[in-house]
Amino acid sequence: MALFKNLFSKKQEEENILPIFPQDIYASGLLELEDAIAPAALKINPSSFQLGEKFTRTLYVYAYPRFLATSWFSPIINLDKIFDIAIYVHPIDTSIILRDLRKKVAEVQSQISLREEKGLVRDPLLDTAYQDLETLRDKLQQATEKLFSIGLYITIYADSEKELTDTESEIRSILEAKLIYAKPALFQQLEGFTSTLPLLLDRLEVHTYMNSSPLSSIFPFVSFDLTSNRGILYGINRHNNSLILFDRFTLENYNTVIFGKAGGGKSYLTKLEILRSLMFDANVIIIDPEREYEYLAETVGGRYFNISINSPHHLNPFDLPIPREDESTADVLRSNIINLVGLFRIMLGGLTPEEDAILDRAITETYAAKDITPDADLSRVSPPLLSDLYLVLSNIRGGDSIATRMYKYVEGASSGFLNQPTNINIDKNVVVFSLRDMEDELRPVGMYIVTHYIWNVVRSELKKRILIVDEAWWMMKQEDGASFLFGIVKRARKYFLGVTTITQDIGDFMNSPYGKPIITNSSIQILLKQSPATIDIMQEMFNLTDEEKFMLLESDIGEGIFFAGLKHVAIKIIASYTEDQIITSDPQQLLAIRKAKEEIT
Q: Is the pLDDT of residue 447 over 70?
A: yes
Task: Identify which of 220, 204, 227, 287 has the alpha carbon closest to the alpha carbon of residue 77.
Answer: 220
- Give the C-alpha separation, 187 to 570, whole Å: 38
| Sheet hosting strand 497-503, strand order edge to edge | 243-246, 232-237, 567-572, 559-564, 524-528, 256-259, 497-503, 465-469, 283-288, 430-434, 303-306
The packing angle between helices 479-491 and 443-460, to 10°, is: 20
- Strands 147-158, 208-211: pairing kind: antiparallel
- Give the C-alpha separation, 192 to 566, whole Å: 35
Output b/e per residue, 309-318; b: 16+ Cβ within 10 A. Answer: eebebbbbbb
Total-model pTM? 0.64
Q: What is the per-residue pLDDT across 261-304, written as a single tens digit (0 to 9) for each? A: 888 889 899 999 999 999 888 999 999 888 889 888 988 999 99
Q: Is the pLDDT of residue 169 over 50?
A: yes
CATH code assigned to 232-315+426-600: 3.40.50.300
Which residues have C-beta within 8 Å of that of residue 63, sequence separation ≥ 6? 180, 181, 208
The CA-atom distances, in angstroms, between 487 and each of 337, 351, 577 are 15, 21, 38
pLDDT band at 153; cut points 50, 70, 90: very high
Residue type, 469: V
Predicted pLDDT at 8: 39
Predicted pLDDT at 1: 41
DSSP code of residue 179: T
Q: Is the pLDDT of residue 412 over 80?
A: no
Q: What is the mean pLDDT of the chain?
A: 84
CATH code assigned to 326-421: 1.10.8.730
Task: Name the segment(s) of the chain with CATH classification 3.40.50.300.
Answer: 232-315+426-600
Q: What is the per-residue pLDDT across 517-534, written as a single tens digit (0 to 9) for each? A: 999 999 899 999 888 888
Q: What is the per-residue pLDDT across 348-393, written as a single tens digit (0 to 9) for each? A: 888 888 988 999 999 999 999 988 888 888 888 888 998 889 899 8
Output b/e per residue, 77-107; b: 16+ Cβ within 10 A. Answer: beeebebbebbbeeebeeeebeeebeebbee
Task: Identify which of 448, 235, 264, 420 has the alpha carbon closest to the alpha carbon of residue 348.
Answer: 448
Q: Is the pLDDT of residue 241 over 80?
A: no
Q: Torsions phi, psi of 79, nearest 5?
A: -65, 145
Q: Where are the alpha helices (DSSP H) in 411-478?
A: 415-418, 443-460, 473-476
pLDDT band at 4; cut points 50, 70, 90: very low
Largest CA distance in the chain: 122
- Give the other-Cβ count within 10 Å of 550's Cβ: 12
Q: Is the pLDDT of residue 19 over 60?
A: no
The CA-atom distances, in angstroms, between 363 and each of 43, 69, 392 are 80, 67, 8
Q: What is the mean pLDDT of residues 16-31?
A: 62
Q: Is the distance from CB of 443 to CB of 290 less than 8 angstroms?
A: no
Q: Is the pLDDT of residue 446 over 80?
A: yes
Task: Name the segment(s) of the chain with CATH classification 1.10.8.730.
Answer: 326-421
Residue type, 164: L
- Give the C-alpha separation, 222 to 237, whole Å: 12
Q: What is the mean pLDDT of residues 118-147?
A: 80
Q: Is the distance from CB of 438 to CB of 306 less than 8 angstroms?
A: no
